[in-house]
Amino acid sequence: MTPDGTAWTVGSAKSADGTAIAYETAGEGPPIILVGGAFNDRSTTRPLAAALAADFTTYGYDRRGRGGSGDTAPYAVQREIEDVAALIETAGGTAYVYGLSSGAILAAYAAAEGLPIAGLALFEPPFQVGPEGGTKAELSERLTELVSAGHRGDAVELFLTDAVGVPAEAVAGMRGMPEWSWMEGLAHTLAYDTTVSGDGALPAARLATIATPTVVVDSTGSPRWLRAAATATAAAIPGATHRSLPGGFHEVPPEDLAPALRADLLG
């Protein structure tokens, strides 16, 4: 049990390729799978899971290559979709799914494949729909080269500047902060996130196949390109709702996000 009183149960699901996917669950109600983005594992999605636990049985998990999960080579986006499928099966065969950033893209692709998803919530999938932002197609290869050469800090810096849009001078200041070493520990997974994003183009045809009730959320404090991506994503998914919530850069506080997700997913 954590200091906020939430009781967590830890488990492991086996994906289609045999990879073990570590998860933690808490709460009561219909299951919801929380799919994190870059620099996320189940510890970073835990505050939102705790805020949702009064109405959902929450499943936060370590995407492959992170935390307690395995990492079977070679990497493929399809394997991560299969990881979501394994968690849904573990949760009882159907579940709600929430995805953040690259995790939102994964969640959308899982829904597009017809996985048994009762409702879908996507937070700022990082598609490039204008001249600003978005992922560069060659970024994944450059990140892999840096990590392979042992330059994990440089890989983190490259991702933050080129994929997230953090100014170089701000990244320089971050290098001395306590969380920098934690980000370096996840540097090998940044190429996974950029592979999920691909060339950054909005996959309108793929999104148009989603039949799951969907809400797409953005933060009023996010950069213009991320908010535009959320608007375009909602427009591409039949019947999707678009909601903007007060928040900061690529985040909305869990105490504000959770009630909105409850309302949109459970009615």
Any idea what the CATH number is for the domain that residue 47 is in? 3.40.50.1820
Burial class of residue 253 in the structure, from the number of CB atoms within 10 Å of its CB (0-12 exposed, 13-18 middle, 19+ buried)? middle
- The reported pTM is 0.95
Determine which of 26-30, 134-138, 156-160, 226-230 has the lowest per-residue pLDDT on average. Answer: 134-138
Q: How confident is the model at residue 164 (pLDDT cuts 50, 70, 90)?
A: confident
In Å, how far are 21, 91, 209 from 113, measured between CA atoms?
20, 18, 8
Residues 184, 147: one domain?
yes
Q: How confident is the model at residue 240 (pLDDT cuts 50, 70, 90)?
A: very high
Residues 30, 160: one domain?
no
Instruction: Give yes or no for residue 237 having a pLDDT over 90.
Output: yes
Is 143 part of a structural domain of the chain?
A: yes
Instruction: Calculate what percentage of the chain has a pLDDT beyond 70.
Output: 96
Residues 113, 40: one domain?
yes
Residues 43, 120: one domain?
yes
Is 161 part of a structural domain of the chain?
A: yes
Q: How confident is the model at residue 137 (pLDDT cuts 50, 70, 90)?
A: low
Is 1 part of a structural domain of the chain?
A: no
| Tally of structural domains, the chain | 2
Residue after which a domain boundary falls, among 170, 195, 220: 195
Instruction: Give yes or no for residue 92 having a pLDDT over 60.
Output: yes
Is 4 part of a structural domain of the chain?
A: no
Residues 210, 190: one domain?
no
Which structural domain range is residue 216 located in? 9-131+200-266
Is 3 part of a structural domain of the chain?
A: no
Mean pLDDT, residues 171-178 taken together = 90
Mean pLDDT, residues 122-141 taken together = 80
Determine which of 88-102, 167-181, 196-210 has the lowest per-residue pLDDT on average. Answer: 167-181
Instruction: Give yes or no for residue 166 having a pLDDT over 90.
Output: no
**143 with 159: CB under 8 angstroms?**
yes
Residues 153, 253: one domain?
no
Residue after which a domain boundary falls, among 168, 195, 222: 195
Is 126 part of a structural domain of the chain?
A: yes
Mean pLDDT, residues 110-126 taken together = 98
Residue after which a domain boundary falls, among 195, 223, 238: 195
Instruction: Give yes or no for residue 58 having a pLDDT over 80.
Output: yes
Is 218 part of a structural domain of the chain?
A: yes
Residues 224, 260: one domain?
yes
- What is the reported pLDDT for 248? 95
Residues 55, 143: one domain?
no
Nearest by Cα to 62 from 26, 29, 23, 94 = 23
Residues 103, 211: one domain?
yes
Instruction: Give yes or no for residue 133 having a pLDDT over 60.
Output: no
* Structure token pair of residue 29: 């109600």
Tell me the C-alpha distance between 44 and 39, whole Å: 8
In Å, how far are 81, 188, 209 from 114, measured between CA atoms?
11, 30, 9
**Pairing between β-strand 95-100 and β-strand 117-123 as defined by DSSP bridges:** parallel
Residues 56, 180: one domain?
no
Residues 144, 223: one domain?
no
Tell me the C-alpha distance between 175 and 196, whole Å: 26
* Structure token pair of residue 121: 């919530």
Nearest by Cα to 226 from 168, 163, 136 = 163
Is 224 part of a structural domain of the chain?
A: yes
Mean pLDDT, residues 211-240 taken together = 97
3-state secondary structure the chain: CCCCCCCCEEEEEECCCCCEEEEEEEECCCEEEEECCCCCCHHHHHHHHHHHCCCCEEEEECCCCCCCCCCCCCCCHHHHHHHHHHHHHHCCCCEEEEEECHHHHHHHHHHHCCCCEEEEEEECCCCECCCCCCCCCCHHHHHHHHHHCCCHHHHHHHHHHHHHCCCHHHHHHHCCCCHHHHHHHCHHHHHHHHHHHCCCECCHHHHCCCCCCEEEEEECCCCHHHHHHHHHHHHHCCCCEEEEECCECCECCHHHHHHHHHHHHHC
Residues 166, 70: one domain?
no
**203 with 231: CB under 8 angstroms?**
no
- For residue 103, the Cα-to-chain-centroid distance in whole angstroms is 2
Instruction: Give yes or no for residue 136 having a pLDDT over 80.
Output: no
Instruction: Give yes or no for residue 261 having a pLDDT over 70.
Output: yes
Q: What is the dihedral of CA 65, 30, 240, 41, to 10 degrees?
A: -20
Instruction: Give yes or no for residue 132 having a pLDDT over 70.
Output: no
- What is the reported pLDDT for 4? 64
